[in-house]
């Protein structure tokens, strides 16, 4: 880890700064920081549902401790990449449905994804389910140390430290973005916060600060400080309980060229990959019955693993409507035996619009179409050794309750708005023949 009086953005250059192997907190600093932070936390901590469950004293029995650990686990996983106010409702609904790991272990991935819908980063939900199943299958006893918690699928250093310190009072640190910000400002650390050695050193500094008598409260106090006072762009230094120990504040006071917000050093983000896909919302209509939609399950590994979506095909780049439809038609024929000329009749085919879905590392531009079909032959999934695609039909009611990603749900919302805004009544639209596909594309605005 390195330290610099005048930090610069980390790009490709090497900044000549002093090694800080010997930089740490003195005994006096540690005592002052602990006392000030814990007093501030006791007076200012937010009333959050998972804290109510985890705030019982040390005299509780094993069952209550494990319930506390489970609540901390669920809340910490939900809070990754998600704001507190958004998480509260999800947490309450989750705990009402699955109040213990034993209840969660009996859930299906479809139920979990449905509950998680809207939070994003769905792998977190799958790891929660798989972790609960792993604990229950191993005897049902909740691991109570940071090292044993890391043996559970999906639990890393941070989550293990949070559970162990908050639920089981183990004196271990936690380091998230808030903690990194607080510590780098306390010590004016300008080294690249993403560098593996810097990360390791920050963990060590955090370890030295942890209060052995109240480790859970102290860890929450540091995270709370970073979330509410020591913010990334507008820190409220005048309200900070440890401002006297903050070297970044001291530097900024004495040097106009230095700002508290210079720490931690800004790291240039990797350039997002630009992907393009054709999405076909396939609606199956039959006389005397409600419309149904075709959903396809994504592979169990990779992006959005195991989630349901409308049929889609990745494109080589920007593509015209003819190329997109050709790609979709090929996919539907190869995967499901849906031949536009033989096994089904095209009632309606319209370009609905474009939606850009942003992932952390991918910018996905989705071209969305509505493809309404009337079957002339039974739809059969192609049975080949190399084909493992899972699919199902769902009606509108079921579709509205499924755990769909925000991108899939946005596509469905666009389809609904398109239908509502169309001047063609639904009954008449369902009677239209294949000529409908030649109509000029309609687009949402």
Peptide linkage before 264 cis (omega within 30 of 0): yes
Q: How far apart are CA 72 and CA 212, in angstroms?
A: 19
Active site residue 76: yes
Q: How far apart are CA 202 and CA 350, in angstroms?
A: 55
Token reading at 352: 């609905």
CA torsion 41→46→52→55, rounded to 10°?
-10
* Residue 133 β-bridge partners: none
Kindly list the distances between the CA atom of residue 363 and the CA atoms of 295, 304, 359, 378, 430, in Å, as whole numbers in the listed order.
23, 14, 6, 37, 35
Q: What is the chain's alpha carbon radius of gyration, rounded to the nearest angstrom?
A: 27
3-state class (DSSP) for residue 29: helix
The catalytic residue among 13, 29, 76, 287 is: 76
Q: How far apart are CA 404 and CA 391, in angstroms?
A: 14
Judge whether 384 and 295 are in contact, CB under 8 Å.
Answer: no
Q: How far apart are CA 103 and CA 356, in angstroms?
A: 37
Helices vs. strands in the chain: H and E counts, helices first: 17, 9
Q: Active-site residues: which are they?
A: 76
């Amino acid at each position: 880890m390195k330290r610099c009086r005048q930090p610069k953005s980390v790009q490709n250059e090497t900044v000549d700064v002093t090694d800080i192997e010997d930089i740490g907190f003195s005994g006096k600093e540690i005592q002052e920081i602990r006392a000030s932070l814990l007093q501030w936390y006791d007076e200012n901590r937010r009333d959050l549902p998972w804290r109510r469950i985890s705030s019982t004293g040390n005299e509780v029995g094993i069952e209550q401790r494990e319930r506390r650990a489970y609540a901390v686990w669920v809340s910490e996983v939900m809070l990754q990449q998600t704001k507190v106010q958004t998480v509260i409702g999800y947490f309450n609904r989750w705990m009402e449905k699955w109040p213990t790991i034993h209840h969660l272990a009996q859930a299906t991935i479809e139920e979990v994804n449905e509950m998680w819908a809207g939070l994003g980063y769905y792998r977190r939900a799958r790891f929660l389910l798989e972790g609960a199943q792993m604990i229950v299958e191993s005897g049902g006893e909740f691991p109570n140390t940071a090292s044993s918690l890391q043996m559970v699928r999906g639990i890393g250093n941070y989550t293990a430290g949070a559970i162990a310190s908050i639920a089981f009072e183990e004196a271990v640190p936690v380091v998230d973005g808030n903690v990194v910000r607080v510590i780098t400002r306390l010590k004016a650390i300008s080294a690249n916060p993403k560098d593996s050695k810097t990360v390791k050193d920050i963990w060590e500094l955090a370890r030295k600060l942890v209060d052995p008598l109240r480790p859970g409260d102290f860890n929450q106090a540091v995270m709370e400080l970073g979330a509410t006072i020591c913010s990334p762009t507008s820190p409220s230094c005048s309200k900070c309980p440890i401002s006297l120990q903050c070297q970044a504040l001291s530097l900024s006071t004495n040097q106009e060229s230095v700002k508290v917000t210079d720490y931690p050093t800004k790291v240039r983000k990797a350039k997002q990959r630009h992907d393009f896909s054709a999405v076909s919302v396939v609606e199956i209509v039959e006389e005397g019955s409600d419309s149904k939609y075709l959903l396809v399950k994504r592979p169990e590994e990779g992006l959005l693993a195991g989630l349901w979506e409308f049929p889609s095909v990745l494109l080589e780049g920007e593509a015209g409507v003819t190329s997109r439809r050709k790609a979709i038609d090929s996919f539907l024929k190869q995967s499901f035996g849906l031949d536009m000329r033989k096994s089904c009749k095209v009632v309606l085919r319209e370009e609905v619009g474009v939606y850009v879905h942003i992932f952390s590392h991918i910018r996905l531009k989705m071209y969305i179409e509505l493809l309404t079909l009337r079957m002339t032959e039974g739809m059969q999934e192609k049975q080949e050794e190399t084909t493992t695609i899972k699919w199902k039909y769902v009606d509108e009611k079921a579709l509205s309750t499924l755990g769909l990603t925000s991108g899939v749900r946005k596509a469905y919302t666009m389809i609904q708005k398109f239908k509502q805004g169309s001047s063609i009544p639904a009954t008449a639209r369902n009677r239209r023949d294949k000529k409908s596909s030649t109509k000029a594309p309609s687009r949402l605005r």
